[in-house]
Amino acid sequence: MKLPKDVKVIKGNRENVRARMDREDVVYQRKAGKNLHIRFIYPQQDNVDRKYPLVMHIQGSAWFEQNLNDHLLDFKEIVTAGYIVAIVEYLPVPYGIFPSQVEDAKTAMRYLMKNVDDYPIDPENLFVMGDSSGGHAALMCWATWNTNKLDTTTQPLPQIRAFVDLYGVVDLATLSEDNPSENYESIGTPEAQLLGGYTPEQHPEAAEKASVLHYITESTQTEPLLVLHGTKDSLVPFNQSVRLFVHSQKMNQKVTFYAVEDADHGKSIFYNEQTMQVMIDFLDKHKTSNYNWF
């Protein structure tokens, strides 16, 4: 095609990947009278029909009602690197007390695998990720995925290649020690709501069962875990992830830990280019080797 004089030309990139969303979310279960949703972000390439690895992300919200849009733009680079991101909603407190969130995440993954032919998902390359309270649920999944613990059924779960924890709560019993300026003794706190209206001090047994360290021993079978946490996190103390990393090293678990300097609880300093590349490199490292998309 001959172009008119002075028309400027931009060369199209046949390997470019864009991110797209469906118009409506998927309801994966109805629980306590509430529909729980999955919001998908897909990679899209012109004239390409293929299956993509899946990152199932458990949304953070202090265990309350979740905003599934919170990280849509933060995760765009993961999608354009060739991954489907499925953001999972769980039943919020005070209705969903522990371990409801963990059960919901496992139910969501079973739903996705049951209906995998409806999506461009490669079931051989599955990842689980979560941030904040969703990071807490992701950690609980990491510690119990290969067991029947914290689950509603003994139906086998699919193999997960690796897990990602973004500034998740690790140990409810030590939150007050790690952040003395915060009041964790009120039954109105998110932690108390998670435990059914009891503070960790009031119900230490429940707090222990809701803490990932309780489940990690030398014999625990886990997949590789990536942990990222801002050093100036004002909501979930940075030392929570330090506790997880130190304990996991003692128990010979495969954990990689990155401290994000000067970053608060998520936000722009945390979700920077280097942080996102660390996450993508970790996913790429652990997916099956027969992928060479670009």
Burial of 10 (0-12, 13-18, 19+ CB in 10 A): exposed
Determine, yes or no, domain membership for 13: no
Task: Identify how many contiguous H helices and E strands the chain contains and give both numbers.
Answer: 9, 9
Cα separation, 250 vs 195, in Å, equals: 28
Burial of 273 (0-12, 13-18, 19+ CB in 10 A): exposed
- Nearest Cα to 157, choosing from 166, 148, 165? 148
Determine, yes or no, domain membership for 135: yes
136 close to 128: Cβ distance less than 8 angstroms: no
Distant-in-sequence, close-in-space partners of 270: CB < 8 Å, separation ≥ 6: 166, 167, 228, 230, 260, 263, 264
For residue 87, which amino acid is it?
A: I
Distance from chain centroid for Cα 37: 15
Distance from chain centroid for Cα 219: 24
Determine, yes or no, domain membership for 115: yes
Cα separation, 165 vs 126, in Å, equals: 15
For the stretch 64-102, pLDDT in tens is 999 999 999 999 999 999 999 999 999 999 999 999 999
Determine, yes or no, domain membership for 78: yes
Q: What is the pLDDT along the chain (294 residues), one digit of tens a residue?
A: 789 999 999 999 999 999 999 889 999 999 999 999 999 999 999 999 899 999 999 999 999 999 999 999 999 999 999 999 999 999 999 999 999 999 999 999 999 999 999 999 999 999 999 999 999 999 999 999 999 999 999 999 999 999 999 999 999 999 999 998 888 778 889 999 999 999 999 999 999 999 999 999 999 999 999 999 999 999 999 999 999 999 999 999 999 999 999 999 999 999 999 999 999 999 999 999 655 554
**CATH label of the domain that carries residue 202:** 3.40.50.1820
What does the pLDDT read at residue 181?
83
Determine, yes or no, domain membership for 188: yes
What does the pLDDT read at residue 290?
53
**Domain that includes residue 50, residue range:** 18-286
Distant-in-sequence, close-in-space partners of 288: CB < 8 Å, separation ≥ 6: 124, 125, 161
| Chain position carrying tokens 């489940």 | 215
Distance from chain centroid for Cα 2: 50
DSSP secondary structure of 252-264: T--EEEEEETT--
DSSP bridge partners of 52 = 121
DSSP bridge partners of 29 = 36
What does the pLDDT read at residue 187?
83
Helix residue ranges per DSSP H, the chain = 76-80, 100-114, 133-144, 175-178, 190-194, 204-209, 238-250, 267-270, 273-286
What does the pLDDT read at residue 183?
80
Determine, yes or no, domain membership for 294: no
Total tally of structural domains belonging to the chain:
1
Cα separation, 75 vs 39, in Å, equals: 13
Cα separation, 2 vs 248, in Å, equals: 64
